[in-house]
Amino acid sequence: MFGFFERLVDPYQPYADRDTPPDRLGPFLFEYLRPFRKVLIYVTLFTLVVAAVEIGLIYYAGRVVDLLEGSTPQTFIAEHGLELLFIALFILFLRPIAQIVDTMFLNQSLLPNLGTLVRWRAHRHVLRQSVGWFQDDFAGRIANRVMQTPSATGEATFQVFDALVYAVIYLVGALVLLGGTDPRLMLPLVIWSMMYISLCFYVIPRIAQASKEFSDARSAITGRIVDSYTNIQTVKLFAHTREEELFAGEAIEEARQKFQKQMRLISFMELGLLLINGLLIVAVIGWSVVLWQQGTASVGTVAAASALVLRLNAMTGWIMWALSSLFENLGVVREGMDTIAQPIELTDSDGAADLQVAGGAIAFRDVSHHYGKASGGLEHVELEIPAGQRVGLVGRSGAGKSTMVNLLLRFHDAEKGRIEVDGQAICDVTQDSLRRAVGMVTQDTSLLHRSVRDNIRYGTPGASDAEIEAAARRVEAHDFILELEDPQGRRGYDAHVGERGVKLSGGQRQRIALARVVLKDAPILVLDEATSALDSEVEAAIQGALYGMMEGKTVIAIAHRLSTIAAMDRILVLDGGHVVEDGPHEALLAQGGLYARLWSRQSGGFLAVAE
C-alpha cells in the first residue's frame, strides 16, 4: 500500500532545464508543483471528505442527544438500533479509510517526493552555475539553501492542504450546520470569523517578516561559522580563537534579537486568540441556550453547537500556527530563491555541438577581459599556439596568466574577442566537451572528500584499478598511497582524504591531482604551478613523468620558478595584460628584455608582484 502512493510521482522524472527560473514566489512554486497536479486534486477531495465527516459527527452527536431525549431506555435500541449500527460501522471502517487515504497522499505521495524533486532540481541548477558565481558566495550558505528550500516547500504545501483547506471546509460546514438550526446562530460565527481573519492579516505578515529576518540572521551565523571552520588552520596559526568567537558572537546576538521580535508577535497572536475565542464560546453556546429556552432549538442543537465551538476553539491555535509556519516556510523559500533561482549566465549557445579535437591548436583573437572593471585581466591579446606545442606562461602576479587559462576553460566569457580550439570558437561548443578536452593541475589543489581511488578516477570514470595504479606510479604517488589509513580504518587506495584533501600533505595532494590528469590523458594540458607543492627531490623524480605527459599534447604551463619551464618550446611573457615577449628560452635571454631581467634576478626565487 505504501509503495503504491510513493510511486505516484517520480521525483527524478525528465524535465526541461531552464536557464532563467521564475523569480516570483507563485510561479516558482507552481513550477515544482506541476508534477503533483493530480495528487493535489486528490488531496483536496479527500480533505473535503474528512472535514465533512468531522462536521457530520458533531451534527450526529447532537442528534443522539435528541434521540435520547425523545426515547426511553427500554425502547431506545429497538427504535434506533439499526441507525446507530450503521453509524458505528461508518465510524469504524469508512471514516478511517477516508482519513488514511488523505494521509497517504500527503505523507507518502507529496512530502517525500516533493522535497526530493526540489532538492534534486535545485542541486542540478546550482551545479550549472559558473565558477565565478560560486566565488561570489559561501559554499556553506549555498548548500544550506539547497537543503532548506525543499523542506520548506514541502512543509508550506502540507500546511495549505492539511490545515488551511481543512479549516475553510470546516468553517463552511459549521456555518451550514448552525444555520440549518437557526440562521441567527450563524451571526456570532461570522463576526468571530471576521475578527479571526483580521487578526491573521495583522499578525501573520509581521511574523513572516520577522521570520525572514531571523532566517537571514541564522544564515549569517552559518556563513561566519563555516568561514572559521574552513580556515581553521589560519585561525590557529594567528591564535585568533577569541576573535572568531566574537565574530560569530555578533551574528548570534543579532539572531537572538530577531528571534525575540518574532516571539513577541507570537505571544500577541496567542493573546488575541484567547480573547476572540472566549467571545465565540460565550456567544454561540449562550445564544443556543436562549433559543432552547424559547423552544426554537433542541437540547441536541445546544450540544452540537457547544461541541462545534469548542472544536473551533481548539483548531484556531493550530490554524494560526499553521499560517505562521506557512509564511515562515514561504520566507525560507524566498530566501532560497535568491540562490537556487538565479539565472545561469554562462550557458551553452543554442545548438552547441561537442568540441572536435584534432590536435589541440589554440588561438586567441583580439581577446580582452577585465572582469567588468576598468583594468586588470587581458588587453587585446593575439596569440596562436600550434597543436602539440609546449608553451610556458611567465609574468609577475596580476599580469594576466590565470585570466588567460580561465578564459580558455570558459570559466568566464571573454568580454571582447574570440578563443578557438582547432578552429572552433569555444563559445559555440558545449562547456563539458571543452573541459573534457583539457587536463589541468592547479597550484591550489583541492581533492574531493572521497577515496584516493575515486579522486584519481574522477576525470576518467570508467578507468580500471590497474590504470589508476599505473597513473599513480608515473607521478611517484603509489608508495605513499599504500601507507595511507583514514580514521575508519580504510587503507591505501580506499582511504578517504578528508575535506579538500586536508588529511594529506600539499605534496601528496599535488601528486594525486597529477595522477588524475595522467589518467585523463586529455589532448590539451594546463599546468598552473603544478609542482609548486613538491620538494626538490620529488619534483626531480617526476619531471620525467611530466614531460612524458606532455608528449603529443598542446601544453600551457604557468610558473613563477622559471627553471621549470625553461625547456618549453616557447615562452610567453605577459605584462599588464599584454603579451610583451614571445620565443624560446635562449632567444628571450638574448633579447635582454623583461624575461632576461626576471631570469637574472630570480636565482631560483619567485617573481615580484606587478606594479
**Within-domain flag for 281:** yes
Mean confidence (pLDDT) of the chain: 87
Q: Is residue 353 part of a domain?
A: no
541 pLDDT band, cuts 50/70/90, is low
pLDDT at 1 over 90: no
Q: Which three cell numbers stand for residue 352?
A: 552547441
**Cβ contact 277:254 at 8 Å:** no
Average pLDDT of the segment spanning 328-344 = 87
Both 312 and 241 in one domain: the answer is yes
Strands of the 570-575 sheet, one edge to the other: 438-441, 524-528, 554-558, 390-394, 570-575, 578-583
- Give the pLDDT score at 532: 64
pLDDT band, residue 566 (cuts 50/70/90): confident
Task: Using pLDDT thresholds of 50, 70 and 90, give the confidence band for residue 216.
Answer: confident
Q: Is 502 within the bounds of a domain?
A: no
What is d(CA 189, CA 171) in angstroms, rounded to the nearest whole number? 9
Q: What percent of the chain has pLDDT over 90?
A: 40
Are 286 and 218 found together in one domain? yes
Does any domain span residue 459? no
Q: For residue 544, give the CATH number of its domain.
A: 3.40.50.300
- In the block, cell 512530502 appears at 111
Average pLDDT over residues 303-307: 86
Longest dimension (CA), the chain: 124
> In the prediction, which pLDDT does 610 show?
44
State residue 609's pLDDT score.
45
Measured distance CA(562)–CA(15) in Å, rounded = 51
Q: Choose between 300 and 494: higher pLDDT.
A: 494
Same domain membership, residue 373 and residue 303: no
Which grid cell is 75?
Answer: 425502547
pLDDT at residue 472 is higher than 90:
yes
| CATH number of the domain that residue 17 is part of | 1.20.1560.10
Which has the minimum average pLDDT: 92-101, 245-254, 316-325, 575-584? Answer: 316-325
Does 506 reside within a domain? Answer: no
Query: Do the beta carbons of residue 218 and residue 262 sit within 8 Å?
Result: no
Q: At what angle do helices 25-33 and 299-340 cross, to 10 degrees?
A: 100
Q: Residue 445: inside a domain, yes or no?
A: no
Residue 120 pLDDT > 60, yes or no?
yes
Kindly list the distances between the CA atom of residue 505 and the CA atoms of 127, 227, 459, 574, in Å, as whole numbers in the listed order. Answer: 28, 22, 22, 32
Output the CA torsion sign for 461, 466, 472, 475.
negative
Residue 608: the pLDDT is 46
What is residue 457's predicted lDDT score, i.e. its pLDDT?
94
Listed residues 291, 308, 340: the one ending a domain: 340
> Is the pLDDT at 604 greater than 50, yes or no?
no
The domain boundary residue, chosen from 340, 373, 393: 340
pLDDT-based confidence at residue 175 (cuts at 50, 70, 90)? confident
Residue 496 counted as domain residue? no
- 333 and 379 inside one domain: no
pLDDT value, residue 533: 57
* Sheet strands side by side (includes 378-385): 378-385, 362-369, 416-421, 424-425
**Averaging pLDDT over each range in 144-148, 231-235, 365-369, which range is the top one?**
365-369
pLDDT above 50 for 508: yes
Average pLDDT over residues 406-413: 93
Q: Is 319 in the same domain as 386? A: no
CA separation for the pair 548, 471 (Å, rounded): 12
* Pairwise CA distance, residues 471 & 526, whole Å: 17
Residues 80, 81, 84, 89, CA torsion sign: negative
Q: Are residues 402 and 294 in the same domain?
A: no
* Local structure of 394: helix, strand or coil: strand
pLDDT at 68: 86
Query: Per mean pLDDT, which range of 137-141, 154-158, 477-481 is the poorest?
Result: 137-141
Tell me what pLDDT residue 92 has. 92
Q: Which residue bears the cell 459549521? A: 174
- Could you tell me the three cell numbers for 21? 527560473
Which of 546, 506, 499 lies closest to 527, judged by CA?
546
CA 315 to chain CA mean position, Å: 35
Residue 464 pLDDT: 94
Length of the chain: 611
**pLDDT tier, 537 (very low <50, low <70, confident <90, very high otherwise):** low
Split at pLDDT 50, 70, 90, the class of 534 is low
Does residue 194 sit in the same domain as residue 262?
A: yes
DSSP classification of residue 500: B
Q: Scan for cell 582547432, then name that residue.
A: 422
Long-range contacts of 464-470 (CB under 8 A, 24+ apart): 465/493, 467/519, 468/493, 468/515, 468/519, 469/493
d(CA 127, CA 134) in angstroms, rounded, equals 9
CA–CA separation, 255 and 417 (whole Å): 48
Q: Clarify whether residues 317 and 379 are in a common domain.
A: no
Tell me: do 368 and 402 sit in the same domain.
yes
DSSP-derived letter for residue 161 is: I
Quote the cell numbers at residue 372.
567588468
424 and 566 housed in the same domain: yes
Q: What is the DSSP string of 280-295?
A: HHHHHHHHHHHHHHTT
Rounded to an integer, what distance in angstroms lies between the CA atom of residue 225 and that of residue 252?
A: 10
**455 has a pLDDT exceeding 80:** yes
Q: Which amino acid does the sequence have at 216?
A: D
Q: Are 388 and 335 in contact (CB under 8 A)?
A: no
Residue predicted with more confidence, 507 or 467: 467
Q: Do 261 and 394 share a domain, yes or no?
A: no
Number of C-beta neighbours around residue 329 at 10 A: 24
Q: Where is the domain boundary, 305, 340, 375?
A: 340
Tell me the DSSP string of 94-131. IHHHHHHHHHHIIIIIIHHHHHHHHHHHHHHHHHTS-H
348 CA to centre of own chain: 22
pTM: 0.77
* Best CA proximity match to 254, nearest among 228, 222, 207, 206: 222
Domain-located, residue 452: no
The average pLDDT across 448-457 equals: 93
Total number of domains in the chain:
2
Same domain, 265 and 389: no
* Distance of alpha carbon 195 from alpha carbon 193, whole angstroms: 5
Range of the domain at 431: 362-437+522-602
List the one residue out of 345, 343, 340, 337 whose CA is nearest residue 121: 340
pLDDT at 260 over 70: yes
